[in-house]
Amino acid sequence: MESQNRDVAIIGGSVSGLAAADEFIDSEKISEIRVFERQEYDDKRVDCGEAINDATLVPLKKTSSNGFLNNVRGFQLRVYTGTDRSPDEEPLGVSDLQCDAGYICDRDTVEQQWAQQLSDSGVVFETGKSVTAGEYHDITEEYDYIVDATGQPSLTHKVKDEVPDYTGDMVALNATVEGDFSDYIDYPRIFFEGYVGYSWSFPKSKTHANVGIGWAGDQRPDDYMSALEAAAERNGFPVPDQEDVNIYTIPRGPSLKPQSVHIPEDNVFLVGDAAGIANRYQGEGICQGIRSASLLAKLISEGRESAYPDELFDKMKSEYRLARLMRGAWVEHEDPQLLANVAEALEGLTIDDITRQPQRVIGRVIQHPVVATQLVADGGMLRRLLNAYTDSWEYNSTESV
């Protein structure tokens, strides 16, 4: 009788790929799990803000040796008039959002330790070499299931010459710097300064922080490094050395049609950034990647893998809708004071609330009638509300949102 056990290849060994491997370990359906990672884990260079908003998703003890450095109480939003201002200018509004399960981490260490734990459990790793187009085709022939966790644009889309299928992206820079961050170690800071995006300073300790800047809109500076340096000077965090700065692309999710995250003829499935699912207004992608990978692995183990595109979209629909509306407070109004008022109205909510719970955000905003009226007193915001609740996105519309 033919064996029912199946083999899985995971292309991409960052958090999304590791989460998929972790979920497959206990599956009676899977016999071999092999992870292909282009970097060596001992010298990985991670492009990321290194904030994990729900660290319970990572199956490691929350110790510094595992890369979990600062268990934050939350994050502080600071809204300013714009970028053309004095460093001494007071913010228009300040809001503290709660995040009890949040950590600022050394993501490279997290991934090293997670990979080691998986290796000890029998997962096979091939590291230090990118998968070529030819090798990709060989993998699709050899393995029963292929998980693409290679980021946006995915290796799958590159091989198939379908990169234009992605409809939106964001760009960010980050680095780890030394300085004095003791004043806000419990509440890392996010700085909104009039453009669609933000800069940040996320303390890993009292003396080290991950700092950076990102742009979620279509208008971006000509010189990214100069923009990061200027943001550092305005917002009081150290200017990083250029050689320490990473630059990377983030999906403006959902940036793929749901059907595009599964290629049935090759049994390829996309997770995390490869699936185009990072949050479109604050760029968070770690938790989204882990959740998508865990969902896929569970469905494969249950023999329901064909349901993955629909179930992924359904699980993220609330987040997509809320992100569409939150972006509108920036894009449609271009009013820093209104954004400050919205931020202050959200004081005390959790990061999960403002990311994935539209009813809580809307409920809080309508407690401030003037702010609520200002938000919807614009045709663009009303269109966003309609589009968000009729699932109209860039991939089925000519509108950029």
Residue 399: predicted pLDDT:
52
40-57 CB burial, b ≥16 within 10 A, e <16: ebeebebbbbbbbbbbeb
Phi/psi class of residue 324: alpha, beta or left (left: φ > 0; alpha: ψ in -120 to 50)?
Answer: alpha
pLDDT at 1: 33
* Alpha-helical runs (H) found in 168-279: 224-235
Q: Please report the pLDDT score of residue 243 as a whole number.
A: 95
Q: What is the 3-state secondary structure (H, E, C) of 302-358?
A: CCCHHHHHHHHHHHHHHHHHHHHHHHHHHHCCCCHHHHHHHHHHCCCCEHHHHHHCH
Report the chain's terminal Cα–Cα distance, integer Å.
53
Helix or strand run (H / E) with residue 390: none
CA–CA distances in Å: residue 96 to residues 55, 300, 349 = 19, 40, 8
Residue ranges, the chain, pLDDT below 70: 1-3, 397-401
The pLDDT assigned to 276 comes to 96
Region of residue 273 (left: phi > 0; alpha: psi -120 to 50; beta: else): alpha
Which residues sit opposite 95 in a β-bridge? 77
Classify each residue of 108-135 as buried b or exposed e, where b means 16 or more C-beta atoms within 10 Å of its C-beta: bbbbbbbbebbeeeebebeeeeebeeee
* Residue 244: both structure tokens together: 């320490």
Among 111, 10, 23, 78, CA closest to 291 = 23
The C-alpha atoms of residue 278 and residue 287 are separated, in whole angstroms, by: 9
pLDDT at residue number 171: 95
The CA distance from 11 to 37, in Å, is 7
DSSP-derived pairing of the beta strands 145-148 and 51-52: unpaired
Segment 90-121, tens digit of pLDDT: 999 999 999 999 999 999 999 999 999 999 99
d(CA 298, CA 279): 23
Q: Which long-range contacts (CB under 8 A, 24 or more apart) does 157-164 make?
A: 158/133, 159/133, 160/263
Contact assessment for residue 12 and residue 274, using Cβ atoms and an 8 Å cutoff: yes
Which helix or strand (DSSP H or E) is residue 72 part of?
none
For the residues of 85-123, what is the DSSP string, one character each?
Answer: S-TTPPPSEEEEEE-TT-EEE-HHHHHHHHHHHHHHTT-
Q: Which two tokens stand for residue 313?
A: 């979209």
DSSP-derived pairing of the beta strands 189-192 and 197-203: antiparallel
Q: Domains, the chain, ranges and CATH?
A: 6-311 (3.50.50.60), 318-396 (no CATH)
Measured CA to CA, the distance from residue 74 to residue 185 in angstroms comes to 10
Task: Respond yes or no on whether the N-terminal peptide bond of residue 153 is cis (omega within 30° of 0).
Answer: yes
- What's at 17, amino acid-wise? G
**pLDDT score of 3:** 52
d(CA 401, CA 384): 8
Rounded Cα gap, residues 352 and 349, in angstroms: 8
Question: pLDDT at position 182, please?
Answer: 99
pLDDT in tens, 5-17: 899 999 999 999 9
Q: CB neighbours of 67 closer than 8 A, spacing ≥ 6?
A: 60, 105, 106, 107, 108, 109, 110, 111, 112, 113
